[in-house]
Amino acid sequence: MNMIQSLNSALDIMLDRDPDVIIFGEDVGYFGGVFRTTDGLQSKHGDHRVFDTPLSEGGIAATAFGMGLNGLRPIVEIQFADYIFPAYDQIVNEMAKIRHRSGGEFWSPVTLRTPAGGGIRGGHHHSQSPESQFTHTPGLKVVYCSTPYNAKGLLISSVESNDPVIFFEPKRCYRGPFYGDPHKVPTWADHPEAEVPEGEYRIPLGQARMALEGSECTVISWGAMVHVCEQAIKDSGFSCDLIDLQTLVPWDKETVVGSIEKTGRCVIVHEAPKTSGFGAEMSASIQERCFYHLESPIVRVTGWDTPFPHTTEWDYMPGPTRIAAAIAQTQED
C-alpha cells in the first residue's frame, strides 16, 4: 500500500468498527478528498457518516468538537495544514482544554488529519509544517506519520484516543518516500514500510520508531524528513541511529535518551522554521537529560526562518547534503 491507501484502510476499519466514528471536511465526501485519502468511503459507509462541509475550517473544528462532546468520535480533515489557523481557537482554547477546564465532566475525542510539509511545489500556503504551533498547547497530542505502515497504525491509535489528536501527514510521501532529490520520484513499491496488513493494528502514541541503527550519531526527525535523513546518513558514511519520532507530544523519552547515551552525538532535522521549532524543544530536553553523555554540540538542520518558497523550495527544505554535513560536524570533536 502507499500512504493514501493505508490511511484510507485505517479510516475504513474505524468506520466499520465504531458506529460513533464520523468523517467530514472539505471535499472528503463524494469526491474522496483532494489527495484521495477518503476515496470510496462515502459510497461504502453512507453520506451520513462521510460527508463534505462548507469551506470553513473554524466551523469544521467547532462542529467536530460539539459532536465529540455528545458522544461521537469525529475524524475531520483540514485540507492543508496551512489552512488550520481559522480553527486555531477551537483547537487550542476549546478541544485541548475542555477535559481539564470542566473537571473531567466533558471531553471531545476529535482527530484532525491534515496534510503538511513541502516538496510538491505548493508555495508558502500549501507547504508549511506547523507542528510546533500545536506542541506548545497542553491537552493536545501531536502525531506525524512518515510511512504507509506507521500512518495506518498511528491513525487507528489516534482515533481510539479519548484525547484530541492533530495528525500530520507528510503530503510529499503520500505516493512514495522522498530522499531529498526532487528529480527522483520513487514509489512505495518494494519499500519494506509499505507492507501494510489489510486488517487492524496499532502503533501506540508516544512510541518512536528506530528507522536505522548505528553507533556514531543519533539523528532525530519526523515526517518526510525521516527519508531524507536516511539518504543523508548513507551519504555521510557514518553509522547512525535514525529515530522517527512519530508522536511529538508526548515524545518517546526512553528511545531518545537511550540512543544519545549510546552515541553521544545528535542531529535534529525538521522542515519547519528553526526558531521555536520542535527541534528546539528536543535539543533543550536532550541537553537537560543527557549533557554528560554528549561528546559534541547538538546540531539542528531545519527550514529557514522565512516563508516557505515556491520554485526555490529545494533550497529551503533540509536536503541530504546539509544533513550529512551536520552529521560530520558532530564527529569533529
Give the type of residue at 61: A
* Count of CB atoms situated within 10 Å of the CB of 125: 12
For residue 85 the three cell numbers come to: 489557523
- Listed residue (162, 134, 178) closest to 272, CA to CA: 134
* Closest CB to another protein among residues 180, 206: 206
* Count of CB atoms situated within 10 Å of the CB of 184: 9
* Count of CB atoms situated within 10 Å of the CB of 72: 18
Q: For the CB of residue 163, give the shortest distance to another protein in the complex, in Å.
A: 5
Q: Which of the residues are catalytic?
A: 126
Q: How far apart are the C-alpha atoms of 326 and 236, rounded to whole Å?
A: 9
Task: Describe the strand order of the beta sheet including 21-25 as a list of residue ranges.
Answer: 50-52, 21-25, 73-77, 111-116, 165-170, 141-144, 247-249
What is the per-residue DSSP string for 268-291?
A: EEEEEESTT-HHHHHHHHHHHHHG
- Listed residue (302, 295, 299) closest to 319, CA to CA: 302
- Listed residue (187, 258, 184) closest to 218, CA to CA: 258
Q: How far apart are the C-alpha atoms of 170 and 97, rounded to whole Å?
A: 27
* Closest CB to another protein among residues 52, 235: 52
Residue with cell 467530514: 24
* Closest CB to another protein among residues 99, 270: 99
Q: Using CB under 8 A, list all residues that contact another protein.
A: 22, 48, 53-54, 56, 58-59, 62-72, 86, 89-90, 93-94, 97-107, 138-139, 141, 161-163, 206, 249-250, 253
* Closest CB to another protein among residues 157, 231: 157
* Closest CB to another protein among residues 162, 187: 162
Q: How far apart are the C-alpha atoms of 329 and 141, rounded to whole Å?
A: 33
Q: Helix 320-330 crosses helix 225-236 at what angle (to 10 degrees)?
A: 60
* Closest CB to another protein among residues 71, 199: 71
Q: For the CB of residue 159, give the shortest distance to another protein in the complex, in Å.
A: 14
Q: For the CB of residue 170, give the shortest distance to another protein in the complex, in Å.
A: 24
* Closest CB to another protein among residues 6, 53: 53
CB 109 within 8 A of CB 163: yes
Q: For the CB of residue 285, give the shortest distance to another protein in the complex, in Å.
A: 9
Q: For the CB of residue 55, give the shortest distance to another protein in the complex, in Å.
A: 10
Q: For the CB of residue 1, give the shortest distance to another protein in the complex, in Å.
A: 30
What is the per-residue DSSP string for 160-190?
A: H-SS-EEEEEEGGGSSS---S-TT----STT
Q: For the CB of residue 190, give the shortest distance to another protein in the complex, in Å.
A: 37
For residue 20 the three cell numbers come to: 460513533
